[in-house]
């Protein structure tokens, strides 16, 4: 609702003047946990009443449940690989009508130009797209990204961008608890606005310091004890189910068994590929998972709506009541929420209608510029054996830093054996020539390589394989297509999905992107990658030095628990 419409809406509510009435619905009230048989009256984009109404246009709910539209509390549009308009077309039918987006992916590649591009592209959509400005570009000082944002860069966005809510996930928790001056300047700028957290396994006095710094949410909890400690400290916990981070059952079971209040628990996807969304669902999938775990249906719906709205200060979103934004979903089964109709801004969303965003600036298309790479670039000397290795954890984004005996050749160079693959991260923004090399367990690549320019959060080129020739071909393939994902098998390109917008996204039709994702996954499985986690998502996170325990950046193997490179 626009403030300029206030007088008109007051009169419309008094007179029952509705442009749309949803008739005969079982209305879910997230304030009182009631279900009321009623009509819902809408004028323009605002709900003006719940009761008995007639209107210029009427929609018969025929006794179906009517709930507020779902809110994704933390998402990176770029991780869908498609533009905001295409992303909206995928998630709106699943009942998500508002997202709180952190555009730090495109910001790490293209700085404020990238921020401006995604802000403009997400305007005028039936999906409400709100923003948290990226706090850590780059995520840490231990990698090289395409840009570096300071507090000064945020001021124009805070002053002129009406959809900017606050500061995005504060991933550099070490700098935060050590009161790093540059980070403190950003935190002070947003002191009275929402600040997202990102503090996996942070506890005790460090967590106290982190909370004082300003972050009031966290989406990185990996067990119930962590969730409970953060709730005790006044944080809102965003339970995440994306394409790779699915280890939430323990937390849901704990909430149910201990009957924890859920007022400060919300839902988010963070990173979820559109193929997974179309197959499983979006926020409705997390709602249904919570319901199956024993959380009452209306409580689960409130966690996906009003809880999130209150956490981020959205006073007119997240409920069905007078003055609230007319975003609602209709469904038949309270135990399995599958939207049959979705209303956004007071209008029925029609999936057949095309959605188009504004043009993408040319500067965001040409972003893959590594220094020359050769077979020699992948030579990995083993100085001590056993040697440090990154061990992946099935179904999780966390990894372990372990010591393993590895195979070496006559020159003392690492030789992959299928169980242990070579991993490389190649700086691709400024042709610095930086290449980090390491060893990873858990990808199970045999006879090829998998590579991407989606490598959170600095988005350098990340490539894993069992032979240098295929790894080199993978890197060259990504350079040629200006970024994306590719799978190489036996010296040939088995699958490739070009992502020319920042090396992260494409404006290709959704069906082409979906087919490209399926081809990539099929090709990765043919190499031996397993289904416990999406191997493409898992690969993308192996370069993110803020999730424990071990990562690889373009500067080398990194111990996240010590915030230091492995010597």
Residue 142 inside a domain? The answer is yes
| Domain span holding position 238 | 82-295+352-363
Residue 43 inside a domain? The answer is no
List the Cα angle 13/68/2 in 5-degree steps: 45
Same domain, 359 and 443: no
Q: Number of structural domains, the chain?
A: 2
Residue 6 inside a domain? The answer is no
pLDDT category of residue 3 using cuts at 50, 70 and 90: low
Whole-structure pTM over 0.75, yes or no? yes
Give the Å distances, CA to CA, from 65 to 152, 324, 520. Answer: 47, 18, 39
Rounded to an integer, what distance in angstroms lies between the CA atom of residue 221 and that of residue 324? Answer: 31
Span 271-294, mean pLDDT? Answer: 94
Residue 500 tokens, joined: 């020319």
Same domain, 373 and 356: no
Rounded to an integer, what distance in angstroms lies between the CA atom of residue 373 and that of residue 435? Answer: 9
Q: Which has the closest alpha carbon to 145: 412, 427, 341?
A: 427
pLDDT category of residue 534 using cuts at 50, 70 and 90: confident
Mean pLDDT for the chain overall: 94
Task: State the DSSP H helix or E strand holding residue 550, giving kind and residue range, or none if neither.
Answer: strand 550-553
Same domain, 283 and 415: no
Residue 105 tokens, joined: 């992916």
Residue 289 inside a domain? The answer is yes
Alpha helices in 39-140 (DSSP H): 84-91, 104-121
Alpha helices in 161-273 (DSSP H): 173-177, 181-189, 204-213, 224-232, 249-257
Q: Please determine, for residue 74, whether its predicted confidence score (pLDDT) is greater than 60.
A: yes
Give every CB contact of residue 503 below 8 A, 6+ residues apart in sequence.
109, 367, 368, 428, 453, 454, 459, 478, 482, 483, 484
Reduced to 3 states (helix: H, G, I; strand: E, B; else coil), residue 364 is helix
Residue 394 inside a domain? The answer is yes
Same domain, 162 and 250: yes
Same domain, 193 and 252: yes
Tell me: the pLDDT tens digits for 373-404? 999 999 999 999 999 999 998 877 889 999 99
For helices 84-91 and 104-121, the axis angle rounded to 10 degrees is 90
Give the Å distances, CA to CA, from 501 to 60, 348, 413, 432, 452. Answer: 42, 31, 37, 22, 13
pLDDT category of residue 537 using cuts at 50, 70 and 90: confident
Q: Please determine, for residue 4, whether its predicted confidence score (pLDDT) is greater than 70.
A: no
Residue 459 inside a domain? The answer is yes
Tell me: the pLDDT tens digits for 80-125? 999 999 999 999 999 999 999 999 999 999 999 999 999 999 998 9
pLDDT category of residue 336 using cuts at 50, 70 and 90: very high
Q: Of 313, 332, 363, which residue sits at a domain end?
A: 363
Residue 37 inside a domain? The answer is no
Residue 243 confidence (pLDDT):
66
Q: Which has the closest alpha carbon to 215: 183, 241, 261?
A: 183
C-alpha dihedral sign at 339, 326, 158, 366:
positive
Same domain, 388 and 358: no
- 461: preceding bond cis by omega (within 30 degrees): no
Same domain, 401 and 497: yes
Same domain, 163 and 118: yes
Same domain, 359 and 436: no
Cβ pair 25, 40 in contact under 8 A: yes
Reduced to 3 states (helix: H, G, I; strand: E, B; else coil), residue 408 is strand
pLDDT category of residue 199 using cuts at 50, 70 and 90: very high
Q: What is the gyration radius of the CA atoms in the chain, in angstroms?
A: 24
Looking at the DSSP bridge assignments, the partners of residue 68 are: 328
Same domain, 463 and 520: yes
Residue 5 tokens, joined: 């419409």
Residue 309 inside a domain? The answer is no
Same domain, 248 and 380: no
CATH number of the domain to which 281 belongs:
3.20.20.140
Percent of the chain exceeding pLDDT 90 equals 86
Tell me: the pLDDT tens digits for 213-255? 999 999 999 899 999 999 999 999 999 998 655 568 999 999 9
Same domain, 394 and 289: no
Q: Please determine, for residue 418, whether its predicted confidence score (pLDDT) is greater than 80.
A: no
| Torsions phi, psi for 22 (to 5 deg) | -90, 110
């Amino acid at each position: 609702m626009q403030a300029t419409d206030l007088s008109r809406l007051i009169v419309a509510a008094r007179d029952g003047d509705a442009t749309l009435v949803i008739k005969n619905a079982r209305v879910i009230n997230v304030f009182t946990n009631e279900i009321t048989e009623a009509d819902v009256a809408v004028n323009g984009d605002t709900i003006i009443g719940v009761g008995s109404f007639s209107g210029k246009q009427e929609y018969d709910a025929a006794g179906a449940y009517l709930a507020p539209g779902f809110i994704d509390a933390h998402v990176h549009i770029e991780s869908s690989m498609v533009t905001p308009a295409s992303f909206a077309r995928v998630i709106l039918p699943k009942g998500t009508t508002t997202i709180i987006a952190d555009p730090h992916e495109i910001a790490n590649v293209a700085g404020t130009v990238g921020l401006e591009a995604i802000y403009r592209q997400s305007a005028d959509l039936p999906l409400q797209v709100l923003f948290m400005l990226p706090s850590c570009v780059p995520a840490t000082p231990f990698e090289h990204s395409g840009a570096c944002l300071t507090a000064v860069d945020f001021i124009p966005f805070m002053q002129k961008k009406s959809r900017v809510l606050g500061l995005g996930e504060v991933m550099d928790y070490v700098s935060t608890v050590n009161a790093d001056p540059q980070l403190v300047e950003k935190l002070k700028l947003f002191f009275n606005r929402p600040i997202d957290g990102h503090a996996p396994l942070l506890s005790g006095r460090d967590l106290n310091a982190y909370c004082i710094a300003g972050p009031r949410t966290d989406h990185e909890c990996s067990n119930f004890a962590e969730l409970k400690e953060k709730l005790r400290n006044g944080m809102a916990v965003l339970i995440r189910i994306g394409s790779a981070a699915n280890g939430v059952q323990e937390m849901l079971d704990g909430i149910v068994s201990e009957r924890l209040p859920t007022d400060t628990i919300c839902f988010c996807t963070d990173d979820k590929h559109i193929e997974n969304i179309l197959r499983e669902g979006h926020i409705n999938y997390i709602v249904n998972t919570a319901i199956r775990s024993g959380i009452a249906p209306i409580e689960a719906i409130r966690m996906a709506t009003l809880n999130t709205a209150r956490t981020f200060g959205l006073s007119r979103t997240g409920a069905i009541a007078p003055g609230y934004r007319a975003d609602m979903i209709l469904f038949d089964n309270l135990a399995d929420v599958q939207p049959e109709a979705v209303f956004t801004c007071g209008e029925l969303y029609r999936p057949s209608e095309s959605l188009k965003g504004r043009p993408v600036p040319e500067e965001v298309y040409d972003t893959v510029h590594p220094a020359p790479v050769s077979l020699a670039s992948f030579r990995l000397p083993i100085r001590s054996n056993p040697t440090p290795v990154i061990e992946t954890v099935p179904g999780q984004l966390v990894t372990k830093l372990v010591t393993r005996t590895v195979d070496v050749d006559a020159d003392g160079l690492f030789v992959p054996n299928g169980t242990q693959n070579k991993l490389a991260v190649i700086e691709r923004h400024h042709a610095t020539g930086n290449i980090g090399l390491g060893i990873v367990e858990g990808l199970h690549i045999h006879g090829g390589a998998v590579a991407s320019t989606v490598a959170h959060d600095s988005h350098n080129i990340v490539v894993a394989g069992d032979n240098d020739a295929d790894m080199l071909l993978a890197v060259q393939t990504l350079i040629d297509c200006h970024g994306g994902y590719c799978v190489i098998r036996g010296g040939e390109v088995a699958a490739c999905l070009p992502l020319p917008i920042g090396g992260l996204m494409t404006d290709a039709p959704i069906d082409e992107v979906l087919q490209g994702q399926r081809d990539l996954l099929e090709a990765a499985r043919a190499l031996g990658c397993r289904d416990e986690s999406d191997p493409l998502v898992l690969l993308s996170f192996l370069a993110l030095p803020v999730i424990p325990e071990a990562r690889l950046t373009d500067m080398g193997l990194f111990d996240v628990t010590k915030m230091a490179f492995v010597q």
